[in-house]
DNA sequence: AACCGACATTAACAAAAGATAATTACTGCT
DNA sequence: AGCAGTAATTATCTTTTGTTAATGTCGGTT
């Protein structure tokens, strides 16, 4: 009855929840299947969802005045992409969301999540864990920008997400590290020649 | 009976709470009065508190291998500094916290906060608002590092925190922007000569 | 007033990054 | 296999930043 195959992809997000809890949670979600390249949220949208990546890889990107795309986040299996600011600030999204591979997302509206969680201590705890984790992670990224050089940030990225190197174009990784693709190419060369 | 003078400093953090709610909240806090320069949390500490700045100005800073201090956050009136990672990751603090002016903080242990909030829908909502705001803010800072040049980040800082320019040494501001004090000095010169 | 210490600015040089364009490599497609 | 489009690398040049050290500035102290 319960699709444990689905369940296990949601567990990493919430702590201290039983299979039944997670199953109930999934009742309020829908699955979004995407082809590689598909844009599933456009700049200016006001849909405030949380996307859990079950399978595949997505990016968030910004289009500047020159029409250039700048990728600011990458999310893959067992990670979540949320558009909190849409709901919290009541502002439309500044970013587009796109699948980079055939991708399966578990989607839940922020409003729905709030309703489900409301008044249920277990869910409150689960959601709090999830949000706190996201916050700690975001602050750690800020600290990396302050404390590390671009080269050090790249080395850290390689160490933490080695599997992404073969899945994501370098230009997106460069953007996420706050540098240009050309500069990343030079950094990579510098590193390989250093090792000799 | 109720010290409304104290209350109003906590309201910005939580939404939809009555004076009575906030008063009850404050029952579980203590006030920390600091002199300028006082370090009130040391690198390696495991005390997981949330600090609400009632009056004054504090910084978080990291001491690297060379013994240099690098400031990564500044917080002033009606802002909060939290050490979530201590609690969440169960790791000691990587940073020191220091008052830069005579400062008054409202301090609450993370554990205590969790107990108070537990099972109280109103508090849940208030805390959720607070955490979500912190998260959105942290992600916005990340986006600034990706989308803006150091000069643009400085101009944004000036616009958003004009009052800090006369309260904080430039070297701390430079660190927070991810650049060196020397570089900030040049940026400032560049800007003033541009305006002519 | 003279001195001290901390901070800001400036200078000089090296290193790195941005911008642009050319070349090379890769991938998918027919 | 050949072609087209995209990505990565390389080259060149400009701009910016880091580094170190010297100089200037300011506030507080005795």
Q: What is the pLDDT of residues A102-160, one digit of tens each?
A: 999 999 999 998 888 887 777 888 888 889 999 999 999 999 999 999 999 999 999 99
The protein residue nearest D18 (Cα–C1') is B180
pLDDT tens per residue, range B59-74: 999 998 888 999 999 9
Domain B4-145: CATH architecture, name and number where available: Sandwich (2.60)
pLDDT tens per residue, range A52-70: 998 999 999 999 888 899 9
Any chain A CB within 8 A of the CB of B142?
yes
**DSSP summary character for residue A111:** H
Model confidence at A3: pLDDT above 80: no
Alpha helices for B118-169 (secondary structure H)? 121-147, 150-160
Phi, psi torsion values for B77, nearest 5 degrees: -45, 135
At B128, the pLDDT band (50, 70, 90 cuts) reads: confident
Which nucleotide has its C1' atom closest to residue B183's CA? D17
Which of these, A155, A144, A149, A180, lies nearest to A69 by C-alpha position?
A: A180
* A178 torsion bin: left (phi>0), alpha (psi -120 to 50), beta (else): left
Interface test with B, best of A85, A119, A171 (most B CBs within 10 A): A85
Average pLDDT, chain A: 89
Cα A174 from Cα A181, distance rounded (Å)? 5
Nearest residue, CB atoms, B88 vs list A72, A121, A136: A136
Q: Return the H-helix or E-strand segment holding B58.
A: strand B57-63
CA of B32 to C1' of D19 (A): 40
pTM of the full structure: 0.93
CB distance A121–B118 less than 8 Å?
Answer: yes
pLDDT tens per residue, range B81-124: 998 888 888 899 999 999 999 999 999 999 998 888 887 777 88
Q: Chain A partners of B121 at a C-beta cutoff of 8 Å? A: 118-119
Cα B8 from Cα B91, distance rounded (Å)? 33
Q: Chain B partners of A48 at a C-beta cutoff of 8 Å? A: none
Cα B101 from Cα B37, distance rounded (Å)? 7
What pLDDT sits at residue B2?
46
Above pLDDT 70, what percent of chain B? 90
What pLDDT sits at residue A175?
98
Fold of A4-140: Jelly Rolls (2.60.120)
Cα A189 from Cα A105, distance rounded (Å)? 36
CB distance B138–A138 less than 8 Å?
Answer: yes
Which of these, B63, B74, B67, B82, lies nearest to B101 by C-alpha position?
A: B74
Bridge partner list, B156: none
CA of A182 to C1' of C19 (A): 10
Phi, psi torsion values for B99, nearest 5 degrees: -85, 135
């Amino acid at each position: 009855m319960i699709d444990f195959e689905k369940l296990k992809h949601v567990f990493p997000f919430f702590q201290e929840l039983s299979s039944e809890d997670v199953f109930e949670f999934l009742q309020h979600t829908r699955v979004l299947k995407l082809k590689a390249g598909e844009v599933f949220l456009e700049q200016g949208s006001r849909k405030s969802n949380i996307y859990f990546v079950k399978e595949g890889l997505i990016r968030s990107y910004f289009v500047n005045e020159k029409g250039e795309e700048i990728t600011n986040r990458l999310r893959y299996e067992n990670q979540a992409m949320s558009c909190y600011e849409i709901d919290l600030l009541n502002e439309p999204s500044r970013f587009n969301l796109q699948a980079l591979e055939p991708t399966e997302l578990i989607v839940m509206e922020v409003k729905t999540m709030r309703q489900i969680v409301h008044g249920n201590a277990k869910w409150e705890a689960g959601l709090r864990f999830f949000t706190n984790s996201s916050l700690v992670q975001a602050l750690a990224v800020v600290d990396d920008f302050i404390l590390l050089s671009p080269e050090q940030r790249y080395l850290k990225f390689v160490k933490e997400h080695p599997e992404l190197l073969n899945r994501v174009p370098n230009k997106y990784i460069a953007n996420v590290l706050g540098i240009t693709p050309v500069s990343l190419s030079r950094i990579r060369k510098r590193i390989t020649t250093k090792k000799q």
